[in-house]
Amino acid sequence: AQSVAQPEDQVNVAEGNPLTVKCTYSVSGNPYLFWYVQYPNRGLQFLLKYITGDNLVKGSYGFEAEFNKSQTSFHLKKPSALVSDSALYFCAVRANNNDMRFGAGTRLTVKP
């Protein structure tokens, strides 16, 4: 069965600095990888996904993620963080059986 690990419960960065939220995965077969963001009292919103092709995928709000097959990682990145990026971020992997598994989430705090 597929699984996802987000090794950091919390990431703190200063506004304007680059940010990275880490994710590693385990799956049999081809990985279909996703990042979602959750703002307070809201549902999860899709940010970006990797299906195939270019290892660097770009998504909403200036976020991007780098797929690394050898390290089984899919880290979320942004060159310059905004205070409004503060939220809970979830990495997820979906396998051929359609089952989507989520990590425990990483709380990103961007300080002015």
Partner 1 sequence: EAQVTQNPRYLITVTGKKLTVTCSQNMNHEYMSWYRQDPGLGLRQIYYSMNVEVTDKGDVPEGYKVSRKEKRNFPLILESPSPNQTSLYFCASSLGGPGYGYTFGSGTRLTVV
Residues making contact with partner 1 (CB under 8 A): 6, 9, 30, 32, 34, 36, 41-46, 49, 51, 90, 94-105
Query: Cβ closer to partner 1: 91 or 110?
Result: 91
Shortest distance, position 94 Cβ to partner 1, whole Å: 4
Q: How many residues does the chain have?
A: 112
Query: Cβ closer to partner 1: 10 or 70?
Result: 10
Shortest distance, position 15 Cβ to partner 1, whole Å: 26
Output b/e per residue, 22-38; b: 16+ Cβ within 10 A.
bbbbebeeebbbbbbbe
Query: Cβ closer to partner 1: 44 or 82?
Result: 44
Shortest distance, position 7 Cβ to partner 1, whole Å: 13
Give dist(CA 38, CA 41) in Å, integer: 8
